[in-house]
Amino acid sequence: MGQKLLREYYELCDGGVCQDLLTEEEKRFVSNGGMMLTGIIQKADTVNGNGRVYPEHVLKREM
């Protein structure tokens, strides 16, 4: 079986970029190919999607 790229995409603004929410520095970063992501990646001391629980100190160390 070949590898597949999993993507989730939610268009919040026209064209997918909310320019009015970015600072001038962030706009330059994005226009030069940078990407800014927001959201919850994982919660400490909570069962994740694969049934594992990671304590807060482990997640802080890995960030």
**Three-state SS for 28?**
helix
CA angle 23, 28, 32 (to 5 degrees): 145
Q: Give the pTM.
A: 0.44
Record the tokens describing residue 56, joined without a space: 């807060």
Q: How far apart are CA 46 and CA 54, in angstroms?
A: 7
The single-letter code of the amino acid at 13 is C
Q: What is the pLDDT along the chain (63 residues), one digit of tens a residue?
A: 577 666 665 566 766 667 777 889 988 998 898 887 777 888 999 999 899 999 999 999 988
Give me the count of residues in the chain. 63
Q: How far apart are CA 17 and CA 31, in angstroms?
A: 10
